[in-house]
Structure 1
Amino acid sequence: MWYTALLIGLTGSLHCAGMCSPLLMAVTNLTPAVALNRVLYNGGRILTYGLLGAAAGSAGSLFPVARYQNIISIAFGIILILAAVLRIDHFNVPVLMKVATAITAWIKSKFAFFLTRKSSPAIFLMGMLNGFLPCGMTLLALGYCMMLNGPVDGFNFMVLFGAGTLPVMIGLAPMILLAIKKSNLSIQKATTSLMILSGVILIARTFIHAGIEAGQHHGEMIDIVLCR
């Protein structure tokens, strides 16, 4: 489960590198303390992810979502694979798109406000705001958190999701893009491959866990029969 969070985070960060990295570069070039600014910015961003994951985990525990965990996990895997193969950048759902546009506009206005402050608390708060930016991979990860065992697991999953985005968000995007180019891949192909891999893992782990549980139940049944 945890390696899935890291992989989805890395995939999402590559997919959204054009949107998120410029924000980070603008923030971290405000003062000479670039390293500290990046720690503050990403710390705030990952904290937001964790809090959202805790909220999603709590919401999931209120509903019988766990009962359908295998089906939902397979569905998420299929969505990832289809989105990668069909090169779907976003789903155009009218109501959701209006909400996402409104949220993005509000966050951008707050960014403009905090950028004038040029202080450590302002940079941390900008990082927290970045965590609320609408993103398909983030929403997918939050949806997965609803299948976990409560807020703690949801928080941990999303913190690891955030950790998976760090290579791009700490300024390593040019190096990653160069490595992808030297591998005779485009950023599109690399992202597509990671999305497919994430989808395959989500589907495969469902069958692996189902097989383990079936084996355990089978073993228990044999023990009962032998005792009799």
Structure 2
Amino acid sequence: MWYTALLIGLTGSLHCAGMCSPLLMAVTNLTPAVALNRALYNGGRILTYGLLGAAASSAGSFFPVARYQNILSIAFGIILILAAVLRIERFNIPVLMKGANIITAWIKSKFAFFLARKSSPAIFLMGMLNGFLPCGMTLLALGYCMMLNGPVEGFNFMLLFGAGTLPVMIGLAPVILLGIKKFKLSVQTATTSLMILSGVILIARIFIHAGIEASHHNGEMIDIVLCR
């Protein structure tokens, strides 16, 4: 589970680097304590992911989602692969897009309020707000959390998702881009490849786990009762 969360987080951060990374740089350069600011900002952002993951897992416990875990994991994997192959940047669903625009506008207004303060608590709260920004990969990860067992697993999964976003969000985006160019790849190609890999892992893990359970079942020792 941990590698899936990390990989989806890295994929999402590369996909959204153009929006979130410059925002982070602008906020954390407000004061001379850049390293502390980035730690506070990312700490707040990842905390929000964790809380959202716990909420999603708790909500999933009220519905019979767990019994369809394998089917849903395969469905999420297929969605990722199709989104990558078809290069779907965003799903234009009127109701969802309207809600996303309302949330984004509210967050922008709060950002302006906290930016004027330039304090450590304000930077931490701006990081928390960043975690609420609508993002396709974040929503996909939260959807996966609904299949997990309880809020603790959801919280941990989204913490790992947030950890996967750190390389880009702590300012290593230029280094990552340099590495991508070294392999003669574009950012789009790298992101597409990671999305496909994430989808394949979500699908493959079901069959791997099924194979492991089957091998354990076949290898069980059967006690034979002998009449004496």
TM-score when normalising by structure 2: 0.96
1:173 alignment partner, SS class: helix
Deviation, 1:217, is: 3.6
2:135 is matched by which residue type in structure 1?
C
Counterparts of residues 15-164 of structure 1 (less than 5 Å): 15-164=15-164
CA distance in 2, matches of 1:60, 1:215: 30
Which residue number in structure 1 is paired with residue 222 of structure 2?
A: 223
Give the number of the structure whose residues are more often helix, by fraction: 1
Of stretches 210-219 and 122-131 in structure 1, the one that deviates more from structure 2 is 210-219
Q: How many residues align?
A: 226
CA apart distance, 1:23: 0.8
The one-letter code matched in structure 2 to 1:196 is: I
Could you list the runs of 5+ residues in structure 2 that have no partner in the other structure? Answer: none
Match of 2:190 in 1: 190
Q: What CA deviation, in whole Å up to 9, does each residue of 1:65-104 have, x standing for no partner?
A: 1100000000000000000000001111110000001101
Q: What letter matches 2:154 in structure 1?
A: G
CA separation of 1:214 and 1:227: change in aligned 2, threshold 3 A = farther
- How far off is 1:191 after superposition? 0.2
Cα displacement (A) at 1:218: 4.0
Relative to the length of structure 1, the TM-score reads: 0.96
Q: CA deviation at 1:223?
A: 2.1
| Percent of aligned pairs with the same amino acid | 87
Counterpart CA distance in 2 for 1:65 and 1:203 is 17
Give unmatched runs, 5+ long, in structure 1. none
